[in-house]
Structures are given as structure tokens and as C-alpha cells.
Structure 1
Amino acid sequence: MKKDKKAMYLIKEKKNWTQAQSYCRSYYTDLASGLDQVDGEEMKALFAGCVMSVWVGLFRDSWRWSDGSDFSFRYWDMQLFNDEQNKKTCAMTLLNRSGKWSSDECDKEKPFFCYDDKLILIKENKTWEEALDYCREYHRGLVSITNPYQQRWAEVRAKNASSPFVWLGLRYSCTLDLWFWVNDKLVCYEKWGREGKAEECGRAVGMQSGGQHEWVSQRENEKYNFFCFK
């Protein structure tokens, strides 16, 4: 399965971990989270000869990523990660030193990495199929939402929509009798309205542009704004 490419940003302004998380969630999507980001080539390209410790989105609650990504691999610098270090609760990556991870007290101020899913709102009314074709032609596809932080970021954008719903890339398959994301992401996060999940042929999901921004099953020939990944 091809992974969605996310833009990475090194923010050199020093903040504590909580402030860094809030900044990333306000201006981007979240702190860098997950191995494909923290060990990815794009992050390494941002090093640019820097030698510093930089916050990433891993914090100690049985070590979880800020954006809800799965955490199953550890790349700790064991020379630094001793018993005393193990008691500290926020993770950082060591730029141009070892590239490995260490931890520190969350109130220390450091630069940090943000990532951006590049989710954009297209304020044109199209059927679901038309929206799908448009996103594939001009961007990378209709948006999938797989965790609450992506949902939150989509909600911020949805408030500017000119239609009551905004199409997502989630569609119902009569043949398979299931909902599926068109980019093959697993349906592991959902935010259905109380009576919004009508499992019928010719249905796709629109997110409410106002209110609780819940997901509601809509007939595919309805015309709404839609979200694309850049």
C-alpha cells in the first residue's frame, strides 16, 4: 500500500513539548508522529547540518504518538536512555548526532518537527464521483480520516464550506457489504451521526460543515464541497 506523503517542517522557535504540540495542531496537523515520519528521508533532509535535540510527537503514556499513530518500534539511543532517562516523559530526536531518540522533561524548550497532511477544501459543488475524479486529476485523491486529530483538522477546514456537507473518500460497497476508503486505508476511526450510517448502494460519506461535524451517509449524486489531499 502506498503511504500518503506528508510535508515536514522544522520549527526552530523553542517551545516546551505541550506548546509545540499546540503550535503544530494550530498551524499544521500535528507533531511529527510515526516511524515513516520520524525516520523518514524528508526529516533527515531538514537537518541541514544542524546539531540539536528536537521534539517529536512521542510522549510517555505507555509511549504514544501525539496523532494516535501505532507505536511498535523503539529507536532509543541506549547510551543516553538509562534508568534516569527512562523516567522522563516526552521524546526527542537527536539531529546529526545519532539520529536516534532520547527523552527529556516536557517543560524543557526545544525546536520541534511538525507535519502537514496537506488537506484542502475545494469550495465547488460536485457529486461524489466528480469530486473523486477532480481530486485524482489535480491532487492526490479524496481525503481519508483515520484518527481523531485528522478529524479535528478537517473540522477546522469544513467551517469554511459553502455546502451543508463536505465529501470524504469513504464509500459503501454493496458487493462487499462494507464501508471502505478509496485510498485503501483501514476504517479504524469513525464519527457517524446518530442516524447517519445508511448502508445502501450508491452511498458515500459527507461530513457536516457545521454543528458536531459528524459523518452522514449521502446519496452519491448529491452535490457538495469536498476535501482533497494535495
Structure 2
Amino acid sequence: MFLCFSVNLTEMMKDNKTFHLIMEKKTWTQAQSYCRQHHTDLASGLDQIYSEEFKKLQNSTALWIGLFRDSWRWSDGSNFSFRYWDMDSFNDGLNNRKCATTLLERSGRWSSAGCDQRKPFFCYDDKLILIRENKTWEEALNYCRQKHHDLVSISNPEEQGWVQERAKNASTPFVWLGLRYSCTARLWLWVTDYVVCYERWASGGKTEDCDMSAAMTTGGQHEWVSQRKNETFNFICIKH
């Protein structure tokens, strides 16, 4: 079993994520793949593991969570150094245990297990979805509006952080954002028609031209760069 979650883009740093308890037993890698395909990722980070909504779905079974042993990192890139291990269970056969589970029957502490064991798990959803298909900016915009809501817009550093976490899993060096240069207005506009207030342009990466839209680098500092609209990249949509 495992658990997934969701979060509203404009409220991302608050406790409003939606979790999904998946009772089908899978290995940790299978659970991660399932969550990424059907939701957002395995439940990751302390803000999720200790949220009230997460606690409502607890049962007495050990469940996969999104923590794995590569210096113990969260599946979705969350940056939390705090750990809550049940040390007796954790230390038993540690060398062969590289994925984390909840031990909900033991006051919520965590244990580790071999990643090839089959367990239920927790997934989560947020309002962002990475589309790993290569499309032009216009094609990406149409895809998002037809199948989800819109190409992603970024209005503050918190939203930048969540978008760049999705971008890390892209298969192209850039991902399209919902930002394009308007020759009529002679400024950059989001697809929502809002003017850019928060910005994260790379040095020398901003070119004001009628044929330009903005993309985020999928590595490094995840800065924004101008790209010709006929280039093809992965992209990030906002879901309804």
C-alpha cells in the first residue's frame, strides 16, 4: 500500500494537500512510478507526513513513503533533514534496507525495508503536472488548456520552487512556462494576461522578440530563458 497527495498552486506551502491511500501492494519503485503516473509522487516531506489529512488515512499496516536511502532523500526532492526512525526496527538489517516505510502502529515512527518488498503506499497530488512530451510553445499551451487548465504561471518564489521540482524530472534541457513576449504590449505577459511581477531570468537569458516564449532550465539554478516558440520541449501544466 502507499499514499499520494494534491495541493493548490497558490497555496502550495500550506497544509492543503490531498492524499491517496493505495492498498495494492507494490515494490517501492513500482509505487513511485504509480504515484508519478496517476498523481504527483510518493508522500514526501514532513509537511505531508504529519499533516492532518495524512493522519486520517493511517492504519496499522507499514506503508511506503517517499524516502529512500541515497543519503536518505525524499522522492519529490523535498528538503527536510529531520528523521523520525524507530531505531530498533531501523537498525535491523540496515545494509539491505534502502527505502522508508511508516510504522503507524508505533506512534507514526518510520522504519526501512528492502525496496523490492511489496507494500501498500501513499501518493499525493498537487496542481502541477509535468508533461514529458516534446511540443512547441503553442502546442504545449493548447495541450494544457484541452486536457488540464493552462500552462503554468509563476508569481512568487514558493511557486518557483514547486515548478522547478517538477522540472527536474523532464527529459529536455528546458520546460515551457506560460510566459510569452507580447509585441503589441511590448512586455512579457503570462497566459493569464498578468504582467510579470516575480521573475527569475538567467543572466543574458531574456530576449524581447515577437517569436519568444519563456522556458525554465531543468538543471542548475532553474532560471528562465527566452526560447523560440517553434522549439520543442517538455512543459508543465496547471490542473483544474
Name the TM-score class by shorter chain.
Answer: 0.5 to 0.7
Q: Give yes or no for the alignment of 1:21 onto 2:32.
A: yes
SS at 2:145's partner residue? strand
Q: Which amino acid aligns with 2:145?
A: I
Match of residue 182 from structure 2 = none
Shift of 1:22: 0.8
Shift of 1:154: 11
Match of residue 46 from structure 1 = 57
TM-score (norm 2): 0.58
Q: Which amino acid aligns with 1:146?
A: Q
Shift of 1:144: 4.9
Task: Note closer, same or farther for the CA distance 1:78–1:199 as it changes in structure 2 (3 Å cut).
Answer: farther
Q: Give yes or no for the alignment of 1:3 onto 2:13.
A: yes
Equivalent-residue separation in structure 2 for 1:25 and 1:146 (angstroms): 16
Check the 8 A contact 2:128/2:163 in 1, yes or no: no
Match of residue 122 from structure 1 = 145
Tell me the percent identity: 49
Match of residue 205 from structure 2 = 197
Shift of 1:95: 2.3
After TM superposition, the structure 1 stretch with the greater mean CA deviation from structure 2, 72-81 or 51-60, is 72-81
SS at 2:65's partner residue? strand
Equivalent-residue separation in structure 1 for 2:107 and 2:161 (angstroms): 35
Q: Which amino acid aligns with 2:214?
A: V
2:103 to 64, 72, 94: 94
Task: Note closer, same or farther for the CA distance 1:67–1:196 as it changes in structure 2 (3 Å cut).
Answer: farther
Task: Note closer, same or farther for the CA distance 1:228–1:86 as it changes in structure 2 (3 Å cut).
Answer: same
1:60 to 61, 65, 69: 69
SS at 1:81's partner residue? helix
After TM superposition, the structure 1 stretch with the greater mean CA deviation from structure 2, 61-70 or 3-12, is 3-12
Equivalent-residue separation in structure 2 for 1:58 and 1:111 (angstroms): 14
Equivalent-residue separation in structure 1 for 2:28 and 2:204 (angstroms): 37
Check the 8 A contact 1:54/1:111 in 2, yes or no: yes
Shift of 1:98: 1.7
Q: Which amino acid aligns with 2:83?
A: R
Check the 8 A contact 1:15/1:111 in 2, yes or no: yes
* CA-atom RMSD in angstroms: 4.5
Aligned residue pairs total 180
Match of residue 43 from structure 2 = 32
Equivalent-residue separation in structure 1 for 2:116 and 2:236 (angstroms): 39
Kindly provide the CA deviation profile for residues 49-71 of structure 1, in whole angstroms up to 9, marking residues without a partner as x: x2100001111111111111113
Shift of 1:40: 1.7
Equivalent-residue separation in structure 1 for 2:70 and 2:124 (angstroms): 22
Q: Which amino acid aligns with 1:58?
A: L
